[in-house]
Structure 1
Amino acid sequence: MGAGLAALPHRHVLTVDTLPSAVRLARETAEQALVEWGIGLRHPAVDPALLILSELVTNSVRHAVDLSPQLTVIFAAGSDCLAFAVHDRHPYQPLLHATRTETGTETGTGGLGTVMELTLGLGGTAVTRADADGRGKSIWITLPL
């Protein structure tokens, strides 16, 4: 996983309207790309990766549609790594890691809590990257294969 995203030999980019149907289309496109890249759909990382992807696209559809009529999903893979990002043009950058308040309660993650639990459970990473103009962001997930 240390080679970096630029070194991953397989890539696919999907841009779709920010509509509920984007979730299904992103998932189907991911499945097709994985098969074309020789990553079997029964690989232990695939089901969690598809769930993470579905959650991230769902979040964009629910929360970014007013400012982002389209969203983009970037898929990439190598022999030991699967990476994907969901990009929209809404400036809000959600907190990916839960924080504990003084009373010990967790705040801030909602559905992203599941994303983080799955990602970290697989030994992966998650990061939010703002667009250069500050008006959008990408959430990147990288998982070992």
Structure 2
Amino acid sequence: MTTRLDALPHRHVLTLPTMPAAVRLARETAEQALTEWGIGLRHPTVDPALLILGELVANSVRHAALLSPQLTVIYAADRDRLAMAVHDRHPYQPPLYGALAGNGTGGLATVMELTLGLGGTAVIDPDTDGNGKSIWITLPL
């Protein structure tokens, strides 16, 4: 997944401590990057994208902090799509599409409902050693 996104002309990487303040910093950095890339904050995809990002970072803070003292957020875009990833070093890979079936009430269900509702995709990209993962969300602009 990441190799296809390497071709996107706009890219920013942010590494943060896996602490609650990471949610705010990741969102603020996303707003700044989007503005610099010419994607207006009033674009209809931006608010849902920021909510998705906040939920993914919050999940890493909530569930991965003991094994992953840092998390990395990757932002990428071109004029037609926005991609975001949150990476941590916890081995658990949540069932993204399973979040919609069954209980479907947590933050991951919200992420998936928003992503699919916007015509986007969600993918988990495991680390080669199996001890971490990136959750990639790609949304059309």
Give TM-score scaled by structure 2 length: 0.94
Aligned residue for 1:106, secondary structure, equals: coil
Q: Which runs of 5+ in 1 are unaligned?
A: none
2:73 paired with 1:73 = yes
CA deviations over 1:19-74 (Å, ceiling 9, x no partner):
00000000000000000000000000000000000000000000000000000000
Which structure: larger Rg? 1
Residue number in structure 1 paired with 2:90: 90
Aligned residue for 2:97, secondary structure, equals: coil
Distance 2:103 2:91 in 1: 20
CA-atom RMSD, angstroms?
Answer: 1.5
| 1:28-107 superposed matches below 5 A | 28-98=28-98, 106-107=102-103
- Off by >4 Å, runs of 4+ in structure 1: none
Q: Structure 1 pair 50/14, CA: closer, same or farther in 2 (3 Å)?
A: same
Residue number in structure 2 paired with 1:135: 131
Distance 2:125 2:12 in 1: 19
The structure with the largest helix share of the pair is 2
Identity %: 78
Shift of 1:109: 6.8
Q: Which runs of 5+ in 2 are unaligned?
A: none
* Contact 2:12-2:75 within 8 A present in 1 as well: yes
2:118 paired with 1:113 = no
CA deviations over 1:77-119 (Å, ceiling 9, x no partner):
001000010000000000101278xxxx714772110000000
